[in-house]
Amino acid sequence: MDDYVLTIDSDVEEDISVKPKASEELNPDFTFDLTGDPYADLLDGDYGQGAADVVKSGSRPEPLSVDEIIARRQLSKKRKRDADDDEEDGDEGEDGDDDDLDSQLSMSEGENASDEEDDDEVGSEEDVEMDGEEDNESVSDASDEEEDSKAEIARKAAFFDDTEGASSFTHTSFLTMNVSRPLLKALSSMGFQQPTPIQAATIPVALLGKDVVGNAVTGSGKTAAFIIPIIERLLYRDKGKKAAATRCLVLTPTRELAVQSFEVGSKLAAHTDIRFSLIVGGLSIKAQEASLRQRPDVVIATPGRLIDHVRNSHSFTLDNLDILILDEADRMLEDGFADELTEIIKSCPTSRQTMLFSATMTDTVDDLVRMSLQKPVRLFVDPKRSVAKSLVQEFVRVRAGKEAERSALLVALCKRTFRQRTIVFLRSKKLAHQLRIVFSLLGMKCDELHGDLSQEQRLRALQQFKDGTVDFLMATDLASRGLDIKGIETVINYDMPSQLAQYLHRVGRTARAGQKGRSVTLVGEADRKMLKAAIKHGAGEDKVRHRIVPADAVAKWSAKLGSLNAEIAGVMDDEKQEKELRRAEMELRKGQNMIEHQAEIYSRPARTWFQTQKEKDAAGALGRQQYESGFPEEPQKGKGKKAGEEEKDKPKRGKYDGMSRKAKRRKMAMDEDAEEGNERAISASIRGAKKAQRPDKIGVPEKRQTKPSKSKAKVKKARVTGGKAGFDQELGQRAHEGARAKKGVATSLKKKAPGKRK
């Protein structure tokens, strides 16, 4: 084993509790507390909709509680025993028809036998050492560590604007960063005394209106890094009913992450009149439509639901967008989101400011071209693809032929050492659910978080874990990105992810903002390459451990789990029946509704869908597959399809579907005119009319100075009194026909007006 891998015995309990402690890596004065729990009001929060019914109901069976089912089963068993005292009670746990469960839980009696040599072998140095022959294999595939070729370096130099970054890294206070008083007040009440490095780097550049590609380790404050400049720029927008418009859009890959960003945004904007709206699947469409009609300044959304509103909420438009943010941008740029992203970008003005962030952000030009960035500034404040400096990574070896012991290993770890505030990542929803049942049967307080749950269940699980009602959360990669849950002590990877990025995001749920944290990964024989990559990207030699779980403990829990198989199958059977019952009830309710409200239902305008359910599922599956097993090499579009097939598969939509009557009439008239050869002139005049109605673009805040020079003071006065956005005022007129006024004036007045983005 490499020298730096310290072997520890699982019996040795280390102090892993998360205590605020001075840290050299990040601001030692960090306070984790966001003055209250961002999720505390998830289930009855406002989300900008101003309606109580934000949680969508009726579309899925009512939430089922595994604990209730287990309790019910235990009660009925007890009753049976009491009533029938003389009957044999040993009929549970020995059933032979649990093959499926055995394989799902990787357990079977035959493989549970304890191996006396386990302690020595698992702890021996050879175990974690990499075989030389594997060194040349494609770890780089997973770790993305390939050296740039000269050509790529040249392309990057041409693509990025590298002149801005360095100077902005020097800020050590929000006060020096041109941030207004209402924001400073919010920052101070949130306990943010100093900017983190990514905030120090991003805020000044973003305030110039420049496009940004940002990268910093997990838990380093990227959310505030993009929300602070959004708010600051919005403070300079035109006010009044006519000027109300949605000017900023933040896209995230998961609903939970959107909720979290919404909470952070609302807190940071607490002392301003800037309004946020949360637009995610699983919450009430009607409440969201009502919210969007108010033209919130900032929309935080997941792509699918946003497109639904762009198409079907007639008063909502992205025409006035000034800033587009992609959080977890590398994930959003993957194939699973490709079509949705393209559709959204098509609806945004070309001259918007675009900012992309992720802890595993790529600066590969090819990946970024789709976003039509304009000379983006590259702000990579940490070494590419690294873990937080305060993270201790542990690895537990799963020896060849002992794969069946994974579940027992997990239970042993959680029973003996990591007893609270532990999130366990699993590859599949089914396994997450089964292990949640196992933990509950063993009396461990546990919940689950994955895509098979209703939104209500997902939010509740998160809340329960956050407030410590449960000690363990069984999660899929749905929870691996972005979630900021205070005080997570341990992340356990039941299996090693196949992508380094995925690993970094999972383990990044702990050790956030300079706090201590630990990851424990079960490593099988097939995971050696990833293990090597994970160690290589670790925080240092002293931060990697090899944990040994004593063989007798594993054997004990293997036996116990084996004896629970029948019980687990019983719980799952009960759940299935419950689900079917509820589904039948729901169908009945739906039918009754149809009969009662038929006329009203049919009179509603039909919603149009961007993708059919089948296409959505296919894109989801593709995204998952890509996320789990790396990037396929085929081009994105029309994968595996013959020419013409792609067109054929597109959803069939009527030409005028989803339009209001007025818009429909206008379009029909236009079509008629177009036939007469007038199309160009007409569309130009419509564009002109629309443009005239648009509110002004938000400006770029000027640098505040203690004593402004006379000439600058004049400019400032003109800007304020003119009632126009600063940029437009200074430029005198719109920079370019067809595109909204160009951002970044403060630094690029001499620049030519930009051409349209693709």
Q: How many residues bind ligand ATP (CB under 6 A)?
A: 24
Binds ligand ATP (CB under 6 A): choice among 178, 220, 362, 434: 220
* Residues between 25 and 64 with contacts to ligand ATP, criterion CB under 6 A: 27, 30, 32, 34
Shortest Cβ distance from residue 463 to ligand ATP (Å)? 16
How far apart CA 367 and CA 330 sit, in angstroms, is: 8
Site track 481-520 with ligand ATP (rule: CB under 6 A), x = hit: -x-x-----------------------x---xx-------
Binds ligand ATP (CB under 6 A): choice among 60, 210, 222, 275: 222
- Only segment of 93-101, 193-201, 247-255, 317-325 that touches ligand ATP (CB under 6 A): 193-201
Binds ligand ATP (CB under 6 A): choice among 10, 104, 178, 218: 218
Binds ligand ATP (CB under 6 A): choice among 49, 106, 112, 196: 196
Nearer to ligand ATP, 27 or 499 (CB): 27
* Residues between 440 and 459 with contacts to ligand ATP, criterion CB under 6 A: none
**Does the protein bind ligand ATP through residue 284 (CB under 6 A)?**
no
Q: Judging by beta carbons within 10 Å of its beta carbon (0-12, 13-18, 19+), is residue 103 exposed, middle or buried?
A: exposed
- Any idea what the Cα angle at residue 558 is, between residues 553 and 560, rounded to 5°? 95
Do 558 and 446 touch, CB atoms closer than 8 A?
no
The SS3 of residue 724 is: coil
Nearer to ligand ATP, 215 or 558 (CB): 215
* Residues between 291 and 320 with contacts to ligand ATP, criterion CB under 6 A: none
User: For residues 616-645, b (16+ Cβ closer than 10 Å) or e, as one string?
Assistant: eeebeebbeebbeebeeeeeeeeeeeeeee
Helix/strand/coil percentages in the chain, nearest 5:
45, 10, 45
> Residue 378 is inside which H or E element, if any?
strand 377-380
Nearer to ligand ATP, 249 or 549 (CB): 249
Place of tokens 């890509």: 626
Nearer to ligand ATP, 196 or 440 (CB): 196
**Does the protein bind ligand ATP through residue 219 (CB under 6 A)?**
yes
Shortest Cβ distance from residue 519 to ligand ATP (Å)? 13
Nearer to ligand ATP, 218 or 351 (CB): 218
Residue with the CB atom nearest ligand ATP in the bound state = 221
Shortest Cβ distance from residue 449 to ligand ATP (Å)? 16
Nearer to ligand ATP, 123 or 482 (CB): 482
- Give the tokens for residue 416: 């003996």
Shortest Cβ distance from residue 192 to ligand ATP (Å)? 4
- Only segment of 218-226, 465-473, 516-524, 679-687 that touches ligand ATP (CB under 6 A): 218-226
Shortest Cβ distance from residue 199 to ligand ATP (Å)? 6
Q: Which long-range contacts (CB under 8 A, 24 or more apart) does 26-29 make?
A: 26/196, 26/197, 26/220, 26/513, 26/514, 27/193, 27/194, 27/196, 27/514, 28/514, 29/193, 29/194
**3 state SS for 418-452:** CCCCEEEECCCHHHHHHHHHHHHHCCCCEEEECCC
How far apart CA 22 and CA 31 sit, in angstroms, is: 11
Nearer to ligand ATP, 30 or 439 (CB): 30
Shortest Cβ distance from residue 490 to ligand ATP (Å)? 16
Residues in the chain, overall count:
758
Nearer to ligand ATP, 191 or 723 (CB): 191
Shortest Cβ distance from residue 726 to ligand ATP (Å)? 27
Binds ligand ATP (CB under 6 A): choice among 177, 224, 268, 735: 224
Count other Cβ atoms within 10 Å, centred on residue 326.
28
Q: Judging by beta carbons within 10 Å of its beta carbon (0-12, 13-18, 19+), is residue 56 exposed, middle or buried?
A: middle
- Only segment of 100-108, 187-195, 457-465, 686-694 that touches ligand ATP (CB under 6 A): 187-195
Starting at the edge strand found earlier in the chain, the sheet holding 517-523 runs 6-9, 544-548, 391-397, 517-523, 490-493, 422-425, 472-475, 446-449
- Give the tokens for residue 592: 């009754």
Residue type, 218: T
Shortest Cβ distance from residue 48 to ligand ATP (Å)? 20
Site track 348-377 with ligand ATP (rule: CB under 6 A), x = hit: -----------x------------------
Nearer to ligand ATP, 69 or 329 (CB): 329
Shortest Cβ distance from residue 483 to ligand ATP (Å)? 7
Nearer to ligand ATP, 466 or 546 (CB): 466
The SS3 of residue 155 is: helix
Shortest Cβ distance from residue 502 to ligand ATP (Å)? 13
* Residues between 605 and 664 with contacts to ligand ATP, criterion CB under 6 A: none
Do 436 and 385 touch, CB atoms closer than 8 A?
no
- Give the tokens for residue 10: 């699982």
Nearer to ligand ATP, 215 or 277 (CB): 215
How far apart CA 502 and CA 62 sit, in angstroms, is: 32
Do 415 and 444 touch, CB atoms closer than 8 A?
yes
The SS3 of residue 343 is: helix
Shortest Cβ distance from residue 28 to ligand ATP (Å)? 10
Site track 125-154 with ligand ATP (rule: CB under 6 A), x = hit: ------------------------------
- Only segment of 24-32, 340-348, 549-557, 595-603 that touches ligand ATP (CB under 6 A): 24-32
Shortest Cβ distance from residue 58 to ligand ATP (Å)? 33
- Rounded to whole angstroms, what are the CA distances from 627 to 18, 219, 427, 620, 661? 30, 21, 11, 10, 42
Rounded to 5 degrees, φ, ψ at 662 are: -65, -50
Q: What is the CA radius of gyration of the chain?
A: 28
Nearer to ligand ATP, 499 or 729 (CB): 499
Site track 63-102 with ligand ATP (rule: CB under 6 A), x = hit: ----------------------------------------
DSSP letter at 405 equals G
The binding site for ligand ATP (CB under 6 A) comprises 27, 30, 32, 34, 191-192, 194-196, 199, 216, 218-224, 359, 482, 484, 508, 512-513
